[in-house]
């Protein structure tokens, strides 16, 4: 049996929007993130980057420290609202995508995913547009599900993909039984 070397076309990933501008169009294939050296695969059908471990990869320029933390327990509802300024032609059917999960070395492991279809009217000047999605925290939630990200893409005419995420935005509580300040409250002869 002959051992063959796998040839991967590893181009360098350009992180869009770091300095403004539209994201580049990527061909299917392997890329290298210049900041981390991580090898990632782009699938144009899903418009997502994937790590070698299979997780969804969000380039570092999109993940930011969260400005606040929200504490959640099983059954709580989390509403995520995205906002952006838009100018241009009317758009029909753009996808507003929301995810809660774990961001780490191997990309973003999406645990909860939701999406809406969004039509945007024509605006000749930059106008704020919002969209939101509400998740119910499931019984199988992990304490490490503390990151969130959103993106918008597609539609007709096509909206270029825009991503934004927060790390450490959520604190998941109430999964394990917890007793604190355990002590003998009193003792006396009766």
For residue 83, what pLDDT is reported? 93
pLDDT tens sequence across 64-101: 889 999 999 999 999 999 999 999 999 999 999 999 99
pLDDT tens sequence across 41-61: 777 777 677 766 666 666 656
CATH class of 11-172: mainly beta
Cα–Cα distance measured from residue 185 to residue 190, given in angstroms and rounded to the nearest whole number: 15
For residue 102, what pLDDT is reported? 92
**What is the mean pLDDT of the segment spanning 97-112?**
87
For residue 4, what pLDDT is reported? 47
**What is the mean pLDDT of the segment spanning 137-160?**
92
The CB density around residue 52, as the number of other CB atoms within 10 Å, is: 13
How would DSSP label each residue in 76-124? Answer: -EEEEEEEEEEEES-EEEEEEEEEEEEEETTEEEEEEEEEEEEEE--EE
Mean model confidence pLDDT for the chain? 82
pTM for the whole thing?
0.68
- What are the structural domain ranges in the chain? 11-172
For residue 33, what pLDDT is reported? 66
CB 73 within 8 A of CB 65: no
């Amino acid at each position: 049996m002959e051992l063959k070397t796998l040839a991967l076309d590893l181009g360098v990933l350009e992180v869009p929007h770091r300095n403004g501008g539209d994201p580049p169009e990527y061909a299917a294939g392997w890329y290298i993130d210049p900041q981390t050296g991580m090898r990632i695969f782009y699938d144009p059908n899903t418009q997502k980057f994937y790590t070698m471990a299979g997780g969804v990869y969000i380039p570092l320029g999109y993940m930011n420290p969260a400005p606040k933390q929200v504490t959640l327990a099983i059954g709580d509802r989390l509403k995520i609202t995205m906002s952006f300024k838009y100018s241009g032609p009317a758009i029909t059917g753009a996808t507003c995508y929301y995810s809660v999960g774990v961001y780490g070395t191997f990309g973003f492991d999406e645990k909860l995913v939701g999406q809406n279809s969004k039509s945007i009217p024509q605006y000749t000047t930059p106008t704020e547009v919002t969209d939101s999605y509400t998740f119910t925290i499931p019984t199988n939630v992990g304490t490490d599900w503390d990151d969130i990200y959103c993106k918008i893409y597609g539609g007709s005419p096509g909206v270029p993909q825009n991503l934004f995420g927060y790390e450490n935005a959520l604190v998941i509580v109430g999964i394990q039984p917890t007793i604190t300040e355990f002590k003998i409250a009193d003792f006396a002869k009766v």
